[in-house]
Chains A and B, each alone.
Chain A
Amino acid sequence: MADTSYETVDTDVLVIGAGGAGMRGAIAAASAGARVLVLCKSLLGKAHTVMAEGGMAAALANVASLDSWEAHFADTMKGGKLINNWRMAQIHAQEAPERVLELERWGAVFDRTRDGRIHQRPFGAHTYPRLAHIGDRTGIELIRSLQDKLVHTDRIEVHMEVTVARLLTWEGRAAGALAYRRADGKLVVYTARAILLATGGAGRIYRVTSNSWECTGDGPTLAYEIGAELQDCEMVQFHPTGMVWPPGVRGILVTEGVRGEGGLLRNKDGERFMERYDHERMELSSRDVVARAINAEVVAGRGTPHGGAYLDITHKSPDYIRRKLPSMHEQFLKLAKVDITREPMEVAPTVHYFMGGVRVQPETGATNVPGLFAAGEVAGGLHGANRLGGNSLSDLLVFGKRAGDAAAECATDKPSPRVEHAQVERGIDRLLSPLSRPHGESPYKLQGELQDVCATYAPIIRDEPGLRQGLEKVLELTERAEQCGTGGPSGRKFNPGWHTAEDLRSMLINAEALFRCALERKESRGAHARSDYPRLDPRLAQVNMVVVRSEGGMSVRAVENDAIPYDLTEIISQSFTRYTPEEMS
């Protein structure tokens, strides 16, 4: 008989996830007076935010005095091909500078300009140099600064290596979570007056990804299961430059900062091929355009020996490269035996970011489920159909804070939520079931199959037959996953087989949403490119694909976004940022 006992822990605000958004949200909620409990799937400070390299976008105008929130807003909207939630894009552009300066007041260190201000580097599709950075390690700087602030903020407690298996509701509100501790496999039921989801993306549903093992889309799944809406799940960002060779490192991120610092893309014939795809912005075009360009070069037989493009920064002095791109230098030297100060890098697209996610209110991050909030990559809306580099770190800070504030306010004066035993028991049954199937299929095998399905049927360029087939295969895998085991032993103490079985469930729901949304969006827009609908459909310019859980399973409907107010439309149409030739055709 399985041990179904659990501990209970009560708090005001439960923050799930301890990357940038979760930590910023926790600090905000605690500063507003709430008792906060932060759950992280890994150790504190290891969240995927540490992988962010290039910088955080904010119109500080330290390098280009002409920069303004309006310009940043217009870049974000055009980069996202206008399906962004315009209000989020506006708030983001307006508040990012304040959040960056605040982070500096909390001890973060940035590279400086000559006159001693925060330096800003150019990045793809940003009209002006806009990314506050420290070398190519901006993510870890952000994490460490927030972590230091967090552990010294009263009323915040952190539980490390705890995974949430399901959210609990009480009287129609999000009221708690069922979780397990990795170290000893014990179960914990958390009750809370408000819950902030900050679980990041679902990059692991692809094999070639820059994402860590944690990025299994837990947030969208947890939210979806209690009735929250998701949106734009078809919008998966392929970062143009991931490592290609050797195979062991395939997918590891090569920062856009390389191109920001002047790196050039060439095909095997030495041609700067971006000329043919976006002759104005060249290497610094938006990520969707550059990723498709590299893809097209490879398909046309002009790729490098290992199926990518060359990224060359050797025209800069070795000293400069080592100072501005230290971790890239180290990464290539160590993992690929390539000295980037003397040789070009070989790069190809890698799955990097999910623009879609839980559908939220722009001001507060509130979902349609009372008491449930979301911020960061797990939330959809800000980035539309394509995220600009650097907008993620500023997103975490701006909306992490806003959602944390709102969650604290929501938690105020709420009675202590109760736990419905039936819900908890159902959750525990399901959570523990793989442990009781010693001969069930291996979750590792199923996970591998899912990664192949996504890579094969939802690649950079998609089409209807492929998407249909992909969806079918995901549904088949979902059935098999319901009967999967742990791959072997059934101990609960730090058993990754069991953890993988649990993660697999989240991944499958994310994959299903991806295929269903991708089928619905019959056009090419941003990261979603279809060979059978190669053009933008202007009628879909304000439409989001919204995923809901219904009687018959998952359903998708097209929802018209609020019209962009006139003053903001003017800002967009008068901005310097141009559409790419491809989009204007």
Chain B
Amino acid sequence: MATISNVDVRVFRGDAGGGEMVTYRVPVREGMVVLDAVLWIQANAAPDLAVRWNCKAAKCGSCSAEIDGFPRLMCKSPVSDYGTELTVRPMRAFPVIRDLVTDVSWNYEVNKRIPAFTPSEADMNDAEAWRMQQEDVDRIIEFRKCIECFLCQDVCHVLRNHDRKDAFYGPRFMIRIASLEMHPKDSLDRRALVKGEAGAGMCNITKCCTEVCPEHIKITDNGIIPLKERMDDLYFDPILWAARKVRGR
């Protein structure tokens, strides 16, 4: 296989007021990922190129961007997957601060609105109550793999195309709620939140979020759908509805 010696990287340069795509020619090293290319540009051609990154090992979820239009972690995307040219743009679902950096603060606001993990008073005072089987924790381990890259939020059409941040918390926080709801020791019931402000009903299960998740969390199948089912049990089950009618509550 012939090795490519250079790659033309087209990067968005600009801010909320607008910008342009600028092309930089980057020498390719073996094993180079897109983040390496962007950092090379920063060190050698555009010192003020704004980009977020931290661990460079797909564990912190900072370097989210859209590479050739697909939401990805830059640190996990080998340049060799793209041939001789590629484009890098900031995530589209969030306002641009500068270049590849977007304002993701909305996500942090949402997180604050989800009631925290709350064990029962009795369990708090009983060490033995904290014995759990591996099977019990395995189910939520998947959700807790989330590195908060917000790529699922970026690709979700409710947030991306319809900008309904007022109506839907987004896939990330469905997963967050699922990890709390399914925690063997949590004692709260967040189904009213799931139906109400979190807006699980907005999700129509296109599974785009699952497709972009770098941690391969089955966001829709294992997180959102079970939450919808729990919500349905409480609010939309016809038998329970009838029973409540009869009992008067």
Q: Which residues of A contact B (CB under 8 A)?
A: 42-48, 50-51, 101, 104-107, 109-112, 115-117, 134-135, 137, 139-141, 144, 148-149, 151-152, 160, 183, 212-214, 245-249, 252-253, 326-327, 330-331, 334-336, 442-445, 448, 486-489, 491, 493-498, 500
**A494 engages B137 (CB within 8 Å):** no
Known: A214-B54, A496-B51. 7 other contacts (CB 8 A): A111-B137, A112-B137, A149-B116, A335-B76, A488-B46, A491-B48, A497-B48
**B130 engages A104 (CB within 8 Å):** yes
Contact status of A105 and B116, CB under 8 A, knowing A112-B132, A497-B48: no
Closest A-chain residue to B131, C-beta based?
A116
Q: List 8 A-B pairs, minimum CB-CB distance, nearest first.
A: A246-B31, A487-B47, A107-B117, A116-B131, A497-B47, A248-B31, A444-B43, A152-B116
**B57 engages A43 (CB within 8 Å):** no
Closest B-chain residue to A152, C-beta based?
B116
Contact pick for B48, options A112, A152, A489, CB 8 Å: A489
**A135 engages B141 (CB within 8 Å):** yes
**B57 engages A109 (CB within 8 Å):** no
**B58 engages A334 (CB within 8 Å):** yes
Contact pick for B183, options A42, A50, A107, A500, CB 8 Å: A107
- Is there a chain A Cβ closer than 8 Å to B112's Cβ? yes
Specify which of A101, A115, A334, A448 lies most central, judged by the most chain B CB atoms within 10 Å of its CB: A334
Q: Which of B93-101, B159-167, B225-233 contacts A (4 or more CB under 8 A)?
A: B93-101
**B144 engages A144 (CB within 8 Å):** yes
**B140 engages A494 (CB within 8 Å):** no
CB distance from A465 to the nearest CB of B (A): 31
Contact status of A46 and B137, CB under 8 A, knowing A247-B31, A335-B33: no
Contact pick for A109, options B48, B49, B61, B183, CB 8 Å: B183
**A46 engages B116 (CB within 8 Å):** no
**A212 engages B54 (CB within 8 Å):** yes
**B50 engages A495 (CB within 8 Å):** yes
Cα distance, A44 to B30, chains bound together (Å)? 32
Q: Which residues of B contact A (CB under 8 A)?
A: 15, 29-33, 36, 42-44, 46-62, 76, 78, 97-99, 101, 103-105, 108, 111-112, 115-117, 119, 124, 127, 130-134, 136-137, 140-141, 144-148, 180, 183, 186
Contact status of A105 and B124, CB under 8 A, knowing A43-B104, A48-B54, A247-B29: yes
Cα distance, A426 to B73, chains bound together (Å)? 40
Cα distance, A183 to B50, chains bound together (Å)? 10
**B49 engages A46 (CB within 8 Å):** no
By a CB distance below 8 angstroms, the chain A residues around B48 are 486-489, 491, 495-498
By a CB distance below 8 angstroms, the chain B residues around A442 are 43, 47
**A43 engages B47 (CB within 8 Å):** no
**A253 engages B134 (CB within 8 Å):** no
**A115 engages B131 (CB within 8 Å):** yes
By a CB distance below 8 angstroms, the chain B residues around A44 are 108
By a CB distance below 8 angstroms, the chain B residues around A151 are 108, 111-112, 116
Specify which of A141, A247, A249, A336 lies most central, judged by the most chain B CB atoms within 10 Å of its CB: A249
By a CB distance below 8 angstroms, the chain A residues around B183 are 107, 109
Contact pick for A183, options B49, B76, B97, B119, CB 8 Å: B97
Cα distance, A331 to B48, chains bound together (Å)? 30
By a CB distance below 8 angstroms, the chain A residues around B133 are 112, 116
**A43 engages B130 (CB within 8 Å):** no
Cα distance, A442 to B46, chains bound together (Å)? 11
Specify which of B48, B76, B115 lies most central, judged by the most chain A CB atoms within 10 Å of its CB: B48
Contact pick for A252, options B56, B103, B124, CB 8 Å: B56
CB distance from A46 to the nearest CB of B (A): 5
Closest A-chain residue to B216, C-beta based?
A330
Contact status of A334 and B76, CB under 8 A, knowing A112-B133, A148-B117: yes
CB distance from A38 to the nearest CB of B (A): 13
Cα distance, A246 to B115, chains bound together (Å)? 44
**B111 engages A213 (CB within 8 Å):** no
By a CB distance below 8 angstroms, the chain A residues around B186 are 107
**B55 engages A212 (CB within 8 Å):** yes
**B60 engages A46 (CB within 8 Å):** yes
**A109 engages B137 (CB within 8 Å):** yes
By a CB distance below 8 angstroms, the chain A residues around B53 are 212-213
Contact pick for A111, options B15, B105, B127, B134, CB 8 Å: B134
By a CB distance below 8 angstroms, the chain A residues around B42 are 444, 496-497
**A249 engages B147 (CB within 8 Å):** no
**A246 engages B29 (CB within 8 Å):** yes
Cα distance, A115 to B130, chains bound together (Å)? 11
By a CB distance below 8 angstroms, the chain A residues around B59 are 50-51, 137, 139-140, 327
CB distance from A482 to the nearest CB of B (A): 18
Cα distance, A253 to B60, chains bound together (Å)? 13
CB distance from B159 to the nearest CB of A (A): 18
Closest A-chain residue to B111, C-beta based?
A151
Cα distance, A135 to B140, chains bound together (Å)? 13
CB distance from B137 to the nearest CB of A (A): 5
By a CB distance below 8 angstroms, the chain A residues around B43 are 442, 444-445, 448
By a CB distance below 8 angstroms, the chain A residues around B137 are 109-112
**B50 engages A494 (CB within 8 Å):** yes
Cα distance, A443 to B78, chains bound together (Å)? 27
CB distance from A317 to the nearest CB of B (A): 16
CB distance from A347 to the nearest CB of B (A): 14
**B55 engages A50 (CB within 8 Å):** yes
CB distance from B19 to the nearest CB of A (A): 13
By a CB distance below 8 angstroms, the chain B residues around A117 are 131
CB distance from A239 to the nearest CB of B (A): 13
By a CB distance below 8 angstroms, the chain B residues around A448 are 43
**B30 engages A246 (CB within 8 Å):** yes
Cα distance, A583 to B38, chains bound together (Å)? 45
Cα distance, A110 to B146, chains bound together (Å)? 15
CB distance from A63 to the nearest CB of B (A): 14
Contact pick for B62, options A42, A330, A498, CB 8 Å: A42
**B57 engages A488 (CB within 8 Å):** no
CB distance from B240 to the nearest CB of A (A): 30
Cα distance, A122 to B140, chains bound together (Å)? 24
By a CB distance below 8 angstroms, the chain B residues around A248 are 29-33, 36
**B57 engages A493 (CB within 8 Å):** no
**A106 engages B117 (CB within 8 Å):** yes
By a CB distance below 8 angstroms, the chain B residues around A115 are 131
By a CB distance below 8 angstroms, the chain B residues around A213 are 53-54
By a CB distance below 8 angstroms, the chain B residues around A160 are 105, 108
Specify which of A106, A183, A442 lies most central, judged by the most chain B CB atoms within 10 Å of its CB: A183
Contact pick for A331, options B31, B54, B58, CB 8 Å: B58
List, sorted by A's number, 19 A–B pairs whose CB atoms are closer than 8 Å.
A45-B148, A51-B55, A104-B130, A111-B134, A115-B131, A135-B141, A140-B144, A140-B145, A151-B111, A245-B31, A247-B32, A248-B33, A326-B145, A331-B58, A335-B31, A444-B43, A445-B43, A494-B97, A496-B50
**B119 engages A212 (CB within 8 Å):** no
By a CB distance below 8 angstroms, the chain A residues around B47 are 442-444, 486-489, 496-497, 500
Contact status of A46 and B58, CB under 8 A, knowing A134-B144, A496-B51: no
CB distance from B232 to the nearest CB of A (A): 26
**A42 engages B52 (CB within 8 Å):** yes
By a CB distance below 8 angstroms, the chain B residues around A500 are 47
CB distance from B40 to the nearest CB of A (A): 10
By a CB distance below 8 angstroms, the chain B residues around A152 are 112, 115-116
Specify which of B52, B60, B97, B105 lies most central, judged by the most chain A CB atoms within 10 Å of its CB: B60
